[in-house]
Amino acid sequence: MAAVMPGLMQKIIFLLSVVFLANPCFSQTGGEQIANPNLRNVPDPIGYVNDFAIVLDSLDRAYLETKLGDFDKQTTNQIVIIILDSDELTEENFDRYALYISNYWEVGTKEKNNGLTIVISPVLRRIRINTGLGTEKILTDEICKDVLQTIIVPEFKDGNYFEGLDQATDEFIRLWK
Protein backbone atom coordinates (compact mmCIF):
# COMPACT_ATOMS: atom_id res chain seq x y z
CA MET A 1 0.00 0.00 0.00
CA ALA A 2 2.89 2.37 0.76
CA ALA A 3 4.24 1.93 -2.78
CA VAL A 4 0.83 2.73 -4.31
CA MET A 5 0.37 5.93 -2.33
CA PRO A 6 3.33 7.84 -3.83
CA GLY A 7 2.04 7.05 -7.35
CA LEU A 8 -1.47 8.07 -6.39
CA MET A 9 -0.19 11.25 -4.75
CA GLN A 10 1.78 12.12 -7.89
CA LYS A 11 -1.38 11.74 -9.99
CA ILE A 12 -3.41 13.87 -7.58
CA ILE A 13 -0.74 16.58 -7.51
CA PHE A 14 -0.51 16.47 -11.31
CA LEU A 15 -4.30 16.77 -11.71
CA LEU A 16 -4.51 19.64 -9.22
CA SER A 17 -1.67 21.41 -11.02
CA VAL A 18 -3.48 21.08 -14.34
CA VAL A 19 -6.71 22.42 -12.83
CA PHE A 20 -5.02 25.43 -11.23
CA LEU A 21 -2.87 26.29 -14.24
CA ALA A 22 -5.72 25.92 -16.71
CA ASN A 23 -8.08 28.05 -14.64
CA PRO A 24 -7.87 31.66 -15.88
CA CYS A 25 -8.42 32.94 -12.36
CA PHE A 26 -4.95 31.78 -11.48
CA SER A 27 -3.08 32.44 -14.71
CA GLN A 28 -1.41 35.73 -15.55
CA THR A 29 -4.03 36.75 -18.11
CA GLY A 30 -6.74 35.65 -15.75
CA GLY A 31 -5.59 38.29 -13.27
CA GLU A 32 -6.33 40.92 -15.89
CA GLN A 33 -9.79 39.48 -16.39
CA ILE A 34 -10.51 39.57 -12.68
CA ALA A 35 -9.21 43.14 -12.43
CA ASN A 36 -11.61 44.05 -15.24
CA PRO A 37 -14.40 41.45 -15.42
CA ASN A 38 -15.93 43.15 -18.44
CA LEU A 39 -13.14 41.91 -20.69
CA ARG A 40 -14.54 38.40 -20.47
CA ASN A 41 -18.10 39.51 -21.20
CA VAL A 42 -17.57 40.63 -24.78
CA PRO A 43 -20.68 40.05 -26.90
CA ASP A 44 -20.41 38.66 -30.40
CA PRO A 45 -20.92 41.18 -33.21
CA ILE A 46 -24.34 41.21 -34.84
CA GLY A 47 -23.38 43.29 -37.87
CA TYR A 48 -22.36 46.86 -38.56
CA VAL A 49 -24.91 48.12 -36.02
CA ASN A 50 -24.75 46.40 -32.63
CA ASP A 51 -27.41 48.00 -30.47
CA PHE A 52 -27.28 45.96 -27.28
CA ALA A 53 -29.04 48.76 -25.37
CA ILE A 54 -31.91 48.93 -27.88
CA VAL A 55 -31.82 52.72 -28.27
CA LEU A 56 -32.53 52.60 -32.01
CA ASP A 57 -35.75 51.32 -33.50
CA SER A 58 -35.60 48.46 -36.00
CA LEU A 59 -36.03 50.70 -39.07
CA ASP A 60 -33.20 53.00 -37.99
CA ARG A 61 -30.93 50.00 -37.28
CA ALA A 62 -31.75 48.51 -40.68
CA TYR A 63 -31.08 51.81 -42.45
CA LEU A 64 -27.67 52.25 -40.80
CA GLU A 65 -26.83 48.57 -41.35
CA THR A 66 -27.51 48.92 -45.08
CA LYS A 67 -25.60 52.19 -45.39
CA LEU A 68 -22.53 50.85 -43.57
CA GLY A 69 -22.66 47.52 -45.43
CA ASP A 70 -22.80 49.30 -48.79
CA PHE A 71 -19.86 51.49 -47.79
CA ASP A 72 -17.84 48.40 -46.84
CA LYS A 73 -18.65 46.72 -50.17
CA GLN A 74 -17.65 49.83 -52.14
CA THR A 75 -14.43 50.62 -50.26
CA THR A 76 -13.54 47.74 -47.85
CA ASN A 77 -13.53 50.44 -45.13
CA GLN A 78 -15.62 49.30 -42.18
CA ILE A 79 -17.58 51.43 -39.73
CA VAL A 80 -19.14 49.55 -36.83
CA ILE A 81 -21.48 51.02 -34.22
CA ILE A 82 -21.52 49.39 -30.78
CA ILE A 83 -24.12 50.57 -28.28
CA LEU A 84 -23.45 48.87 -24.96
CA ASP A 85 -25.96 47.93 -22.31
CA SER A 86 -23.88 47.04 -19.30
CA ASP A 87 -24.18 48.16 -15.74
CA GLU A 88 -20.75 46.58 -15.14
CA LEU A 89 -18.96 49.30 -17.12
CA THR A 90 -17.56 52.21 -15.17
CA GLU A 91 -16.10 55.59 -16.06
CA GLU A 92 -12.69 54.10 -15.30
CA ASN A 93 -12.90 51.07 -17.59
CA PHE A 94 -15.09 52.34 -20.46
CA ASP A 95 -12.24 53.55 -22.70
CA ARG A 96 -10.26 50.39 -22.11
CA TYR A 97 -13.28 48.21 -22.84
CA ALA A 98 -14.18 50.22 -25.96
CA LEU A 99 -10.67 49.74 -27.35
CA TYR A 100 -10.67 46.08 -26.36
CA ILE A 101 -13.97 45.27 -28.06
CA SER A 102 -12.90 47.17 -31.19
CA ASN A 103 -9.71 45.12 -31.43
CA TYR A 104 -11.39 41.87 -30.39
CA TRP A 105 -13.99 42.18 -33.16
CA GLU A 106 -11.21 42.93 -35.71
CA VAL A 107 -13.10 45.73 -37.43
CA GLY A 108 -11.51 46.55 -40.79
CA THR A 109 -9.36 44.38 -43.01
CA LYS A 110 -6.18 42.89 -41.62
CA GLU A 111 -4.09 44.16 -44.56
CA LYS A 112 -5.33 47.76 -44.46
CA ASN A 113 -6.25 48.07 -40.77
CA ASN A 114 -9.12 50.22 -42.01
CA GLY A 115 -11.75 49.99 -39.33
CA LEU A 116 -13.60 52.59 -37.29
CA THR A 117 -15.80 51.87 -34.30
CA ILE A 118 -18.19 54.18 -32.55
CA VAL A 119 -18.65 52.76 -29.05
CA ILE A 120 -21.45 54.19 -26.93
CA SER A 121 -22.61 53.63 -23.37
CA PRO A 122 -25.93 55.42 -22.84
CA VAL A 123 -25.85 54.49 -19.13
CA LEU A 124 -22.48 56.21 -18.62
CA ARG A 125 -23.17 58.88 -21.25
CA ARG A 126 -19.80 58.05 -22.83
CA ILE A 127 -18.75 57.76 -26.47
CA ARG A 128 -15.45 56.68 -27.93
CA ILE A 129 -14.35 56.55 -31.56
CA ASN A 130 -11.56 54.06 -32.30
CA THR A 131 -9.69 53.93 -35.60
CA GLY A 132 -7.31 51.42 -37.11
CA LEU A 133 -3.83 52.57 -38.12
CA GLY A 134 -4.85 52.66 -41.79
CA THR A 135 -7.97 54.66 -40.97
CA GLU A 136 -6.28 57.32 -38.85
CA LYS A 137 -4.15 58.42 -41.82
CA ILE A 138 -7.36 59.88 -43.26
CA LEU A 139 -9.72 60.18 -40.30
CA THR A 140 -7.33 61.71 -37.81
CA ASP A 141 -7.98 62.06 -34.09
CA GLU A 142 -8.82 65.73 -34.73
CA ILE A 143 -11.43 64.86 -37.34
CA CYS A 144 -12.99 62.20 -35.10
CA LYS A 145 -13.04 64.59 -32.16
CA ASP A 146 -14.68 67.27 -34.31
CA VAL A 147 -17.38 64.85 -35.53
CA LEU A 148 -17.95 63.75 -31.95
CA GLN A 149 -18.26 67.28 -30.56
CA THR A 150 -20.15 68.97 -33.40
CA ILE A 151 -22.45 66.19 -34.60
CA ILE A 152 -22.82 63.25 -32.22
CA VAL A 153 -22.85 64.94 -28.80
CA PRO A 154 -25.38 67.69 -29.66
CA GLU A 155 -27.81 65.15 -31.15
CA PHE A 156 -27.34 62.68 -28.30
CA LYS A 157 -27.98 65.42 -25.73
CA ASP A 158 -31.38 65.90 -27.36
CA GLY A 159 -31.99 62.14 -27.28
CA ASN A 160 -31.54 61.83 -31.04
CA TYR A 161 -29.30 58.77 -31.23
CA PHE A 162 -30.23 57.85 -34.79
CA GLU A 163 -29.76 61.39 -36.12
CA GLY A 164 -26.36 61.69 -34.45
CA LEU A 165 -25.16 58.35 -35.79
CA ASP A 166 -26.64 58.91 -39.24
CA GLN A 167 -25.03 62.34 -39.64
CA ALA A 168 -21.71 61.21 -38.14
CA THR A 169 -21.44 58.18 -40.41
CA ASP A 170 -22.36 60.37 -43.40
CA GLU A 171 -19.48 62.68 -42.50
CA PHE A 172 -17.02 59.81 -42.02
CA ILE A 173 -18.08 58.27 -45.34
CA ARG A 174 -17.76 61.62 -47.14
CA LEU A 175 -14.24 62.17 -45.81
CA TRP A 176 -13.08 58.56 -46.21
CA LYS A 177 -14.14 57.73 -49.79
Convert the pLDDT of each residue in 69-126 to its tens digit: 999 999 999 999 999 987 778 888 999 999 999 999 999 999 999 999 999 999 999 9
| Pairwise pLDDT comparison (29 vs 17), residue with the higher score | 17
pLDDT for 13: 45
> Residue 91 to residues 35, 53, 55, 88, 112: CA-CA distances in angstroms?
15, 17, 20, 10, 31
30 & 103 share domain? no
Indicate the pTM of the whole model.
Answer: 0.77
14 & 45 share domain? no
22 & 44 share domain? no
26 & 111 share domain? no
102 & 30 share domain? no
| Residue 149 structural domain | 39-176
pLDDT for 6: 59
13 & 48 share domain? no
48 & 30 share domain? no
Q: How many domains does the chain have?
A: 2
pLDDT at residue 64 above 80?
yes
Of 9-13, 46-50, 72-76, 144-148, the range with the lowest mean pLDDT is 9-13
Q: What average pLDDT does the chain have?
A: 83
88 & 18 share domain? no
